[in-house]
Amino acid sequence: MKKKLGKYLVLVAAFAFLFTVIQSISEAQQKDKPIQGKTVNINKATEQELVKSVPLITPELAKKIVQYRKDNGNFQTLEELLQVDGFDRTLLRRIKPFLLLEGIGGKDCTC
């Protein structure tokens, strides 16, 4: 009986290990998978536009982006998004193609 139980435990451990490996491979493939969306001006977009157009932006993160903009003024660089709680470099790298920076520097700006 103990031998059977030992074999079952080894089998369960092997399946758990394989499941973990397969899940890790799947997550790695998801990270490299191309994402689709629409380009938005980070200094003008509403919460709804951010969620609808920019992949990986949740409603909570969109709210934080808009609030940060209200509190601090327009974003001067896309990297400034890293100051928003919930943003990290990986997320910024993945969504950068969907973000425009317009409206910085005031009406006389030639940027």
The CATH code belonging to domain 40-100 is 1.10.150.320
- Residue range 22-81, pLDDT digits in tens: 665 655 555 556 667 789 999 999 999 999 999 999 999 999 999 999 999 999 999 999
Whole-prediction pTM: 0.62
Burial, 42: exposed, middle or buried (Cβ in 10 Å; 0-12, 13-18, 19+)?
buried
The domain limits of the chain are 1-33, 40-100
C-alpha dist (Å) from residue 73 to 56, 62, 101, 110: 23, 16, 13, 18
Q: Are 73 and 83 in contact (CB under 8 A)?
A: no
